[in-house]
Amino acid sequence: MSAVLQNPSTISAAHTNVKLLINGKLVESKTQVWKDVVNPATQVVLARVPFATQDEINAAIVSAAEAFKTWKNTPIGARARIMLKLQELIRRDMKKLAACLTAEQGKTLPDAEGDVFRGLEVVEHACSIGTLSLGEFAENVAGGIDTYFLRQPIGVCAGITPFNFPAMIPLWMFPMAIVTGNTFVLKPSEQDPMTTMLLAELAMEAGVPAGVLNVIHGGKEAVDALCTNPAIKAVSFVGSCHVGEHVYKLASTHGKRAQCMMGAKNHAVVMPDASKDQSLNALVGAGFGAAGQRCMATSVVVMVGEASQWIPDIVSKAKALKVNGGTVAGTDVGPVISKQAKTRIEGLIAQGAAEGATLELDGRNPVVPGYEKGNFIAPTIFSGVKPGMKIYDEEIFGPVLIIVNVDTLDDAIALVNANPYGNGTGIFTQSGAVARKFQNEIDVGQVGINVPVPVPVPYFSFTGSRGSKLGDLGPYGKQAIQFYTQVKTVTERWFDDSLTNTGVNTTISLK
């Protein structure tokens, strides 16, 4: 085990190399291409991540294919017990995982624990695989004939994950894939791969056999290799739209099942009858938590009618948030992931102002004592935003909340439905009738009613829609069981020579 993986809370030395996980062993890559993993609050280099060679990627896939031969028939109870152990180990190492996550990703320590916890819930759910994967049986579908279906694993599956949830999103994928009897090759974000590696090590400690879970690192070449290798049967991707569209096309044209959970522009509609203080608190938390780098962050507030009078209140709540390093107690907003992300977001803020939106709160270049080199942007709010402005049309993925005013609920619904994304939306109101109309008419996959970040718990599934998703099935919950299994239907009869022989039947009917 490398020092970087053993003791993430004290990591500071440059050039500690993140390992690959191939066939149950942590191995040093032989690649010539490395990238620094940088603490976004301090710019300290935490480690180097390799861009795995094609030979290393192939070795990971071959090891997964070999392991599948026995893992697919490992009893359900044995697989479930490994998940039970894994959830125990994640709980044991919660603080260590969160410290690593904050160091490499930047979110606050409590939010980092939340990231791990939302993934842990998926592992807990995976422990129920016995009942989750049951087939169905119908007796006497014809004379003496029964039909049943069973679920079988599909083979080697791959997962490609983004930087913003380095614990939760890998845990959306590999526990469900392997508990259903598949083997897995995971490619975490090259921006923050260390927390994911800690989780992979815990999976080994929990008893996942060699080759059942493999981890490779890299960028486009690694992703393309996973999407095109004939041994891989399914690809699960979470990340931006432009990469997701590429992954979906490449994986599907190579005959694989594919699911891509992608970018978003989540609108929260605020009715004038909403509980003002609690609604605005929820919106500010959902807009600026994790520095706005959540796919389900509220990014557009749609103020209906007189609710627009609350703009000064939302601005003063946002202004009160504390911007600081994620390890500092009381921090609300940490840094964004990289210098490039910061520059991009600042560019969008400048463009929003240039295009005529009102910059109610400008969070550019905040002073953060002790963290002068960090990638900080403080909460930023625009009002008077309209479709067609770049800050409306593009996913900003930073601590920038934009406000659009409309006259009626119908106008709000029309606005949300005209937006190409369909990840999440919400309505804040005291009226059941208004909420019911909204949830019925809105064309978005995940709806919150007075709930700002409506990410479903794992007994359901993540159900983004339209431009935010490609593929029919979501990454966890019941839909993941369907994604990671092939249904086989068996129609069965046992001849009993003591009964009447019905003779030759040349029709398609079962008798």
- Which tokens sit at 75? 């009893």
| Residue 90 found at the interface with ligand NAD (CB under 6 A) | no
Contacting ligand NAD (CB under 6 A), which of 120, 295, 311, 348? 295
Give the integer Cα–Cα distance in Å for 474 and 237: 10
Q: Which of 401, 417, 46, 75 is nearest to 197 (CA)?
A: 46
Contacting ligand NAD (CB under 6 A), which of 258, 261, 349, 470? 261
**Which of residues 239 and 325 has its CB atom nearest to ligand NAD in the complex?**
239
Contacting ligand NAD (CB under 6 A), which of 468, 471, 480, 485? 468
| Residue 189 found at the interface with ligand NAD (CB under 6 A) | yes
Q: How many CA atoms lie within 13 A of 2 on its CB side?
A: 24
Q: Which residues are catalytic?
A: 295
Between strands 358-361 and 380-383, the pairing is antiparallel
Give the integer Cα–Cα distance in Å for 217 and 206: 22
What are the backbone angles phi and psi of residue 413, rounded to the nearest 5°?
-65, -40
**Which of residues 71 and 163 has its CB atom nearest to ligand NAD in the complex?**
163
At its nearest, how many Å lie between ligand NAD and the CB of residue 175? Answer: 16
| Residue 395 found at the interface with ligand NAD (CB under 6 A) | yes
| Residue 303 found at the interface with ligand NAD (CB under 6 A) | no
Cβ-contact 380, 401 below 8 angstroms: yes
| Residue 186 found at the interface with ligand NAD (CB under 6 A) | no
| Residue 162 found at the interface with ligand NAD (CB under 6 A) | yes
| Residue 263 found at the interface with ligand NAD (CB under 6 A) | yes
Contacting ligand NAD (CB under 6 A), which of 20, 129, 264, 357? 264
Reduced to 3 states (helix: H, G, I; strand: E, B; else coil), residue 105 is helix
**Which of residues 310 and 392 has its CB atom nearest to ligand NAD in the complex?**
392
| Residue 219 found at the interface with ligand NAD (CB under 6 A) | yes
Cβ-contact 416, 409 below 8 angstroms: no
Residue 157, strand partner residues: 184, 234
**Which of residues 69 and 220 has its CB atom nearest to ligand NAD in the complex?**
220
Q: Which of 421, 391, 395, 417 is nearest to 406 (CA)?
A: 417
**Which of residues 183 and 189 has its CB atom nearest to ligand NAD in the complex?**
189
| Residue 206 found at the interface with ligand NAD (CB under 6 A) | no
Reduced to 3 states (helix: H, G, I; strand: E, B; else coil), residue 343 is helix
- Which tokens sit at 13? 């030395």
Kindly indicate which of the ranges 44-52, 218-226, 349-357, 502-510 contains the residues binding ligand NAD, using the contact rule CB under 6 A: 218-226
At its nearest, how many Å lie between ligand NAD and the CB of residue 455? Answer: 8
DSSP string, 457-488: PTTS----EETTEESSS-SSTHHHHHHTEEEE
**Which of residues 163 and 174 has its CB atom nearest to ligand NAD in the complex?**
163
At its nearest, how many Å lie between ligand NAD and the CB of residue 34? Answer: 14
Q: Which of 273, 330, 315, 304 is nearest to 401 (CA)?
A: 315
| Residue 243 found at the interface with ligand NAD (CB under 6 A) | yes
Kindly indicate which of the ranges 6-14, 98-106, 205-213, 261-269 contains the residues binding ligand NAD, using the contact rule CB under 6 A: 261-269
Contacting ligand NAD (CB under 6 A), which of 72, 81, 91, 246? 246
| Residue 223 found at the interface with ligand NAD (CB under 6 A) | yes
Give the integer Cα–Cα distance in Å for 74 and 96: 31
Helices and strands of the chain, counted as H and E runs: 17, 22
| Residue 119 found at the interface with ligand NAD (CB under 6 A) | no
**Which of residues 79 and 217 has its CB atom nearest to ligand NAD in the complex?**
217
| Residue 160 found at the interface with ligand NAD (CB under 6 A) | yes
**Which of residues 93 and 190 has its CB atom nearest to ligand NAD in the complex?**
190
At its nearest, how many Å lie between ligand NAD and the CB of residue 142? Answer: 45
| Residue 114 found at the interface with ligand NAD (CB under 6 A) | no
| Residue 464 found at the interface with ligand NAD (CB under 6 A) | yes
Residue nearest to ligand NAD as judged by C-beta position: 239
201: amino acid identity, one letter: E
| Residue 33 found at the interface with ligand NAD (CB under 6 A) | no
DSSP string, 189-220: -TTS-HHHHHHHHHHHHHTPPTTTEEE---SH
| Residue 229 found at the interface with ligand NAD (CB under 6 A) | no
Q: List Cα–Cα distances, 425 to 281, 349, 415, 430, 470, in angstroms.
A: 16, 23, 12, 17, 18
At its nearest, how many Å lie between ligand NAD and the CB of residue 404? Answer: 20
DSSP string, 311-332: HHHHHHHHHTSPB--TTSTT--
CA–CA–CA angle 233, 49, 480 (5° rounding): 30
Cβ-contact 203, 233 below 8 angstroms: no
Size of the site for ligand NAD (CB under 6 A): 28
- The binding site for ligand NAD (CB under 6 A) comprises 160-165, 187, 189-190, 219-220, 223, 238-240, 243, 246, 261-264, 295, 395, 397, 423, 462, 464, 468
